[in-house]
Chains A and B, each alone.
Chain A
């Protein structure tokens, strides 16, 4: 039996026609249905395999683009600034070339724009290279096949039907003519219904979200009435509305499928739009592994993402260990780092049994070794593909998690893509590893991945083009606003606009787009007995109007569906299900329970008891963010270190004054060197060389500045201790601390000094009920056995070095006021008549706060939220909720 060959405009239509079962049939011979491009390729193949003609090889689209890219690259001279996206330029050039072929255009070189002239130059070079390589672009080959048909070659079916073509270009017309000449009966396969629908509505909604929800509601009602219906949803801007629409449909039709375990359960709708293969988690992991394997320096966040991926090595069983390794990396490694550094850190932590991710580290090591063994010389892509496969194996990609069906397909697609690299060898030749990787990732970004749907969804969500030739029981066309429908023209910039307009090339002008939209619209009107068009009146701040193509149809306001989402249903009961529980007391510190944190704990507790509890008793530490250079804390540590080193050598004011200029310089230099070395040892890694130099200069400058201030001290002193450890027990809470410096005056009294290198300093709290800077008071009031004459912060800052604190009497330190000084505003003379009163106050208040800790006081009680600016446990404090409750209470009061 001789059935007509059906040539379709889209693969989807071909698929639909192929799988349409004749009424009642269980088994049937599939009608011969191909897309036009498939058929022409098949003919070219036959010509070759039958020995009829030797057509040049059609470049696959990616290889063709590469060739354009090379041509364009070669045409640029050294002085030209590089193109931002040479691939995109190549794509435009390829498109222009294809347009010229399809629309049979000829461009006169004179009198055209600079861009067109450039393009014509590229084009002739492109064709030259094609000839040399015995290649041709796809349309070129198709035209050659048509040529063969025209001269009577190749067997041609006696009857051919074209389906779903909205408008013929000269290319299709020429083909049809040739076929007719060969005696084939050529016709258009009627698709859709015989008459335009007479049930057409136009609905307007306030915004896109409402439009999607109304559509979902419509679909749900339709299906409820008749589950066997085939519904179509056509969206001119499908890419733009895809997620919103899919979410709305899902929320309405399958609210429970949002749960993670249902991620791949098939839905009753199908979106005709895939996502780039490169977006698949599995593929992302593969590409990142390959990119980083060579150990180049990158932003460490990329390593973090890799560690977080389940798709390689022990991604599931060691997920916690990896997360902790990431946390450690952020605080310990430089902002720019490489895999070897990460491995060193990881191995160190694993060895000290702080971390469980040995398998991951082993696989990463193997990956790196494999990359190293491969070396950096140039290779053919086919060769690289083999190596890449091997590397991935070392990294145990795709991991230990059982692959889901989609992941399984993604892996297959990725490996196919990897294999297809080989096809580019002819164009590219040998390339570096980076280049090979770049091409692979480009391919993965371009390849659209759409997992196979199981079963036949009753709702098809389609773009305008894919809807060609299809028909439904009911159709909704959404997003038909005047900015999208008819679409804005997008003439190819490399061809003269006048020419494109004159030849009515697709997408070239408003007229053409209007004509196109009109045809599509006519076709859509015949694709279902019931049709709804809809649009949104606004998008953000933009006003939208109905598409002019809907003129003549009356526009109604669409009914905003009643909120019915799962969230809404649950929220309706909101409030009534909440209980309020007094929970501000944690368990008291048990006998033998260790409480860490020392002065930091008392500080946090004083500012807000909950802070103290969460951070120090529950160990709630925030994850750090890696910073470039040294963070303020590290800068501070270095200053502390340098000053410590300095005063260990220079033990008193007399020695300080005794130094001559060169000697002082020497001592400072030594101190700074020592501090830097110490710092590096603590950090287990050297500072970058240049940065180290700069830091050393900074520290020397700063010390110089600071010591000038120390020289101004009028009372002689000797330095008794630097970074002195002290342990006191307050209310059974062991507080361990390091006092930056203790000076001794001639009369034996002490001056307690704490270096500060940033942030503003608050000493006012020393007179308050809750001492939020307790370090110095603790030492002065509880640890020191000798009398204390002053407690001061030393602000070691480049712009305003100064002492700040309180002293028993005047002039002990420059700028430090004595108790009872008329200008002293912090310590009320009535409450603090003398020094012992201050000490007593401190003792009492420190004990009170420590007692809170011991008893487990952990409420969110805070006087000044600004004091929480750097609090790491903010999420636990629920301050917004507290504020809300406060407002409520104040309102009642």
Chain B
């Protein structure tokens, strides 16, 4: 297509995308995808009944909030008059927003008042909401917390599974078999299980099918199909004409070397691309390739060509044939690959290993569920799995219209190239039952060329398949955008020219391969926009880092000088590629500040390590290493000799114990002793108060008292410290703070970016840069490789057969003790994965390149190698430089080499190995003033450890009930409460007591006591007198008084005025012991005097004389306190 075509096609697609139909849209880098999504979202809002019916799914929370911001922004802007100079595509957005506002006010949505009604969320959050709305179907019961740090649960589950080996059940056999297979290495098995539990969305369902008898056949068929496909590809590379030329010499050779070439003895017909011909292919490959996989150059009698005349003749024929064959690109690799094809069927041993491990994994998944249950939280995988469960099987789908709070009418999915199989399945479930033309639409948008999240289970093949076949029953119309509004033409043109050669020629979903589609620059050209390759050539690889850093620094300095206002980004494939660069940049140009986004480890900084030391020591007294380190840290700075005097002769006691030994302290130097005592006082306080403070504050307080902040290099490091304490908060909140977790979690944190650096120079990984743009992009480390795939107990894969059915593939890991080298199915699947990740590398380079607006710099290092023709060692496989080598990089490196650009090793006469650092410490440790001044009002421990023994529960309950009844009697008057009424209430009293948790017997007994007490009271003169008073009377009266600037409440059982005197009476239900002295009640009454005196004080100024008394209902006795 011409660029005009592209432009028209692009415009047409953008319009079409706003129609009420289902689409899959491909939007390359810089195409303005977000604007399109916004427009469509607005368009849909204007046609639904409730705004909740439109659901947009994004890849990250950040993207979700940005999109919401954009939509709300458009809506708010639409309320204002339009700006005169508004751009055309903005005009479109504005029109759509106006329509939404009209719709909003017609239906009284109040969208702008309640923007939460916009459903823009991540898939994870959607799953969580589905699970919440269907608590029973999802089997959650209630929505659990979701943790993204589930590794500790995986480990717990793995360990508990391993522990099952001792439980004597059938499961024990499974675990034993697995352990046996793993050479009884529980640690290794545990690690592999943990890894798999973190990916169980990929296998749980399959693992359940392993015992199906049909499955083995399915798997075998799957492998057969894959192998056949490989052979078909191979035979396509080696057409019959080329084969025919080979036949005579090979037949000749086969006669001489029947052992290796038997399969080709009667080679008359071309070898076909099918399974039966595999042995012939392999024989051929063995002949034509050397053991390292390259074309064989010389043929001898070993290959069946003796040095005699006949042999020579055939060798010449062979050489002629080979000329054509060697010219076929990739044929050597394809032939080599056929040598490592596994057997088409898993052996019985392999299959039994598969079933053992599957069973083991199911056990582990079961343990994981229990572990989650104990912790009350789950991981995202579980949420997704349960959401899917709640949505129901295809055969018995859940009625979503009833189950959800609003029906879903329109779905929009962003970044569709990075979805995982589970996610696509979820979309299928959500759209089940949608019919064409029923008004519901699905809209997915993405760019397969930017699919780079395989490590998060993304599979670009899904995009390709969905584009072809739709989702569920929904066919998706394919739209493609071409415009690139971001980069200047020089960049776009370079990308258009370069990437078709880097990307494969055709899409292949199974292999995760995507071909290139061109873009069209919309910005007008600019002279200073360019793509530059910066070859760095060194003689030894250990010079690479510094030479590369130098180049990098030059680019940065030049760019900054020429374009002070522009943004620069340094993008790398892996964090580790940047650490050396960052270090040398800091060294060479400390004045250049930059933001390293999630690059540098927080725990690599000494001041953070000091905090970890402090926390570890406080949390465990027997941790001698950290206790010594605590004494060595700058806030104490004990010298070696003092440490020696403190603990060299006692390796058993804890350091804290030794610190208490005064005699021992005598041995220290005066300075050392003073330092130690200072620290001892602080730690002593901390240990004595252990557990009374939020743990984070406890540690922080000690750090402050020790003068931790004084030991920093600068106040700016407090940002690191804050990040550390935030981690502590998190661990304390989760209840998992231990020295071990602190260590491992701190190691996975990144130092916060330099607060003093603006955002004009940033360093990050290519993954982090996704969706961002920078005026200048520098990609260093092109020559660097990343680690390889880890091993896994089982590998799973899937293949879609010609009939459209998916076949499961599975293969077990090879035992370490296995000695033979025959190719295994496991290796085959691993290579398949490796192939996919190689394709992803291509896309990674694409993403990096398309971040650039004006200028793109590519920096790579090659080794000079005089043995090679062009003087350079070609870049390693799997590096980005390798991808660029043939079509751009090689030439640049060669001309650089010709120009003599060999990096000279920077002479470093500094001997790092023998450098011995000094001890850094506070000159004079002292308690910070704040603590000295504030020392006045610390609480003294009160002796409140007295055992809390009280009256028995039934006695207390009886007392309460008597009070309650007396209150009612006093309120209603004696006339309303004849004795009979009381005795008639015994059953009610019993119930009341039972309701208070008393047993039946106790309650019955208690009710009897209550009736007796009340009867006694009503029968006694004293009782009738106390209850019958009416003047200024109150029962259970509440009074307040002003204490020390706080109101204090008092509840007085009975208060009244009789004959000009105010009586204050307190009821006490007391049972007289058997042999009580006669004045028992009077004595008891005395003990209540303080309480009554307190009441009396309330009425001290009220005028009337006061009488204080205790009334005993059980005895019907009133005793006045004189």
Contacts and interface: CB of A to CB of B under 8 A. Distances in A.
Given A87-B141, A628-B186, A49 B968 contact: yes
A765 interface: no
Interface stretch (B263-271, B354-362, B454-462, B625-633): B625-633
Interface in A508-523: 509-511, 513-514
Interface in B667-724: 685-694, 697-698, 700-702, 704-705, 707-715, 717-718, 721-722
Interface residues of A, number: 194
Given A258-B701, A567-B709, A619-B651, A456 B1045 contact: yes
B139 A81 contact: yes
B1047 interface: yes
13 contacts: A114-B137, A263-B693, A310-B690, A320-B621, A324-B654, A382-B997, A510-B114, A542-B64, A548-B112, A568-B715, A574-B711, A575-B713, A891-B587
A26 B923 contact: no
B1100 to A, nearest CB: 8
- Ordered nearest first, which 4 A-B pairs have the shortest CB separation? A629-B186, A88-B142, A619-B651, A256-B934
Interface in A191-219: 209
Contact of A114 (B398, B713, B916): B398
A548 B704 contact: no
Interface stretch (B214-222, B793-801, B940-948): B940-948
Nearest to A316: B688
A28 interface: yes
Nearest to B693: A263
A175 interface: no
Interface stretch (B160-168, B487-495, B892-900): B160-168
Nearest to B740: A625
B704 A411 contact: no
Interface residues of B, number: 199
A46 interface: yes
B628 A632 contact: no
A574 B729 contact: no
Interface in A841-893: 856, 858-864, 872-876, 878, 880-882, 884-887, 889-891, 893
B647 A893 contact: no
Contacts of A257: 934
B984 A51 contact: yes
B116 A482 contact: yes
A696 B691 CA distance: 46
Given A27-B1040, A320-B622, A861-B913, A631 B179 contact: no
Contacts of B709: 566-571, 574
A50 interface: yes
Interface in A44-75: 45-46, 48-51, 54, 57
Q: Which of A243, A420, A493 has the most CB of B within 10 A?
A: A493
A514 B110 contact: yes
A415 interface: yes
Nearest to B991: A48
Interface in A639-659: none
Interface in A541-597: 541-545, 548-549, 551, 563, 566-575, 577-587, 593
A620 B643 CA distance: 11
Given A574-B715, A890-B910, A21 B653 contact: no
A348 interface: no
Contact of B116 (A259, A404, A488): A488
A45 B964 contact: yes
A57 B1099 CA distance: 40
A263 B689 contact: yes
Given A84-B140, A261-B939, 18 more contacts: A115-B135, A255-B930, A264-B692, A309-B691, A320-B622, A324-B654, A382-B999, A402-B943, A482-B115, A488-B116, A514-B110, A567-B721, A575-B712, A584-B916, A586-B641, A629-B187, A882-B917, A891-B587
B740 to A, nearest CB: 6
B702 A260 contact: yes
Interface in A81-103: 81-92
Contacts of A577: 710, 922-924
Contacts of A878: 606, 609, 629, 632, 917
Contacts of A513: 114, 116
A697 B692 CA distance: 52
Contacts of A882: 915, 917
A244 to B, nearest CB: 8
Contact of A256 (B613, B702, B921, B933): B933
A83 B140 CA distance: 6
Interface stretch (A461-469, A686-694, A828-836): A686-694
B180 A21 contact: no
B613 to A, nearest CB: 5
Interface stretch (A610-618, A662-670, A675-683, A817-825): A610-618
B586 A423 contact: no
B942 A402 contact: yes
A154 to B, nearest CB: 12
A297 B115 CA distance: 52
Q: Which of B60, B116, B369, B964 has the most CB of A within 10 A?
A: B116
B622 A483 contact: no
A265 interface: yes
Interface string B947-959: 0100001000000
A84 B69 contact: no
Contacts of B654: 320, 323-324
B145 to A, nearest CB: 11
A335 B715 contact: no
B939 A49 contact: no
A265 B629 contact: no
A549 B52 CA distance: 20
Nearest to B116: A488
Contact of B637 (A91, A542, A581, A628): A581
Interface string B174-198: 0010011001111100100000000
A250 B930 CA distance: 14
Nearest to A1: B1032
B142 A89 contact: yes
Contact of A542 (B52, B61, B692, B972): B61
Contact of B141 (A89, A260, A497, A887): A89
A725 interface: no
Contacts of B621: 319-320, 323
Contact of B184 (A327, A585, A698): A698
B909 interface: yes
B66 interface: yes
A48 B632 contact: no
Given A83-B141, A619-B647, A875 B625 contact: yes
Contacts of A630: 186
A27 B918 contact: no
A420 B995 CA distance: 11
B1040 A18 contact: yes
Contacts of B1041: 26-28
A113 B988 CA distance: 43
B698 A260 contact: yes
Given A486-B114, A574-B714, A893-B910, A86 B141 contact: yes
B103 to A, nearest CB: 16
Nearest to A63: B997
A309 to B, nearest CB: 7
B640 A585 contact: yes
A593 B649 CA distance: 8
Contact of A25 (B619, B934, B972, B1042): B1042
A859 B116 contact: no
B135 A89 contact: yes
A118 to B, nearest CB: 6
A593 to B, nearest CB: 8
Contacts of A859: 916-917
Nearest to B698: A260
Contacts of A425: 997, 999
A761 interface: no
B1098 interface: yes
Contact of A690 (B172, B722, B912): B172
